[in-house]
């Protein structure tokens, strides 16, 4: 952390809206995972008897799992991120816009003679500044 652990945590705790983007570092992914907290997931296990023992036992319990797993942050696509605001998280995906790439129409607006004349003017002005 750039500001140290305590200062960084204080800064992050005072932010209303936080945006979590794709990561390439396992430590950062684990930090993000811990940030979103842990939920309890109910589990059920069924044990059946073998051969002549027909006893069936059903065991229920809970296991703690992260609300958002670390590998989720590795698999975010371009334009996707997870927001966290007011205790609620949501995955958001911006749609990629088609951008038409082309040279500006005004690129060839000046002739070569005009450009050379402008260069000479600027060169003379700058030379006169440094001559004094």
Q: Report yes or no on whether pTM surpasses 0.85.
A: no
- Residue 120's pLDDT is 95
pLDDT tens for 77-100 read 888 988 888 778 888 888 888 888
Tokens of 18: 């936080």
- Residue 123's pLDDT is 92
pLDDT exceeds cutoff 80 at 129: yes
pLDDT exceeds cutoff 70 at 39: yes
What is the rounded CA–CA span in Å between residue 55 and residue 88? 44
What is the rounded CA–CA span in Å between residue 27 and residue 103? 43
Domain boundaries, the chain: 5-93
Percentage of the chain lying above the pLDDT 70 cut: 92
What is the rounded CA–CA span in Å between residue 18 and residue 84? 5
Task: Give alpha helix (H) positions in 4-131.
Answer: 5-13, 26-35, 70-74, 112-131
């Amino acid at each position: 952390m750039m500001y140290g652990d305590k200062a960084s945590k204080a800064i992050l705790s005072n932010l209303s809206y936080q945006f979590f983007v794709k990561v390439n570092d396992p430590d950062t992914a684990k930090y993000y995972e811990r940030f979103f907290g842990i939920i309890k997931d109910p589990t059920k296990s069924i044990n059946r008897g073998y051969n002549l023992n027909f006893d069936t036992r059903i065991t229920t319990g809970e296991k703690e799992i992260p609300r958002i797993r670390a590998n989720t942050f590795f698999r975010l696509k371009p334009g996707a991120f997870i927001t966290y605001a007011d205790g609620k998280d949501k995955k958001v995906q911006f749609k990629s816009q088609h951008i038409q790439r082309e040279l500006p129409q005004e690129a060839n607006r000046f002739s070569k003679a005009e450009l050379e004349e402008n260069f000479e003017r600027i060169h003379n002005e700058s030379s006169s500044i440094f001559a004094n």
